[in-house]
Amino acid sequence: MKIPIIPVIALCLFLLPATTALAQTSTTDSIKSYSVEKKNEAVAYSKKLVNDFDVKIKDLETQISKDTSAAGADAKRQAKDLKELADLKAARAKASKSADELSKASKESWADAQKAFQDSYKDLQKSYDAAAAKVKK
């Protein structure tokens, strides 16, 4: 039985945002599962999550660089791309700071530190998604 390719591609594109959101939710939920006694593991995991964005950010920078060096590149678009990149780097810095704050959290402040990291990581993911979408247009 031969499956038509267009409906399969359309279905994949439809489901992709849901799987990204699910992966993001499960990633941030996993930070919640660490107790304060496992703080060192939680800090290492949170820093790994943030550092994984470095490669993605570098790829976007490369793409923007290629786009800006292309003949006839639109100055308005370049400015938007650079703003998206700056916003992404700011979100990455905030998530990194939240990961550092996990290491300083006491037993009493642990839940708040976890929540702060979860929120900043979600913001980082959203900033990346927005920047990637604009750069690829």
pLDDT digits (tens, 9 = 90+) for 27-49: 667 888 888 888 899 999 999 99
Contacts by 67-75, CB closer than 8 A, 24 or more apart = 67/135
pLDDT digits (tens, 9 = 90+) for 51-78: 999 999 999 988 888 776 665 556 667 7
Distance CA 68, CA 63 (A): 9
Round the average pLDDT of the chain to a whole number and report it. 80
Distance CA 125, CA 92 (A): 9
Q: Which residue has the higher pLDDT, 66 or 110?
A: 110
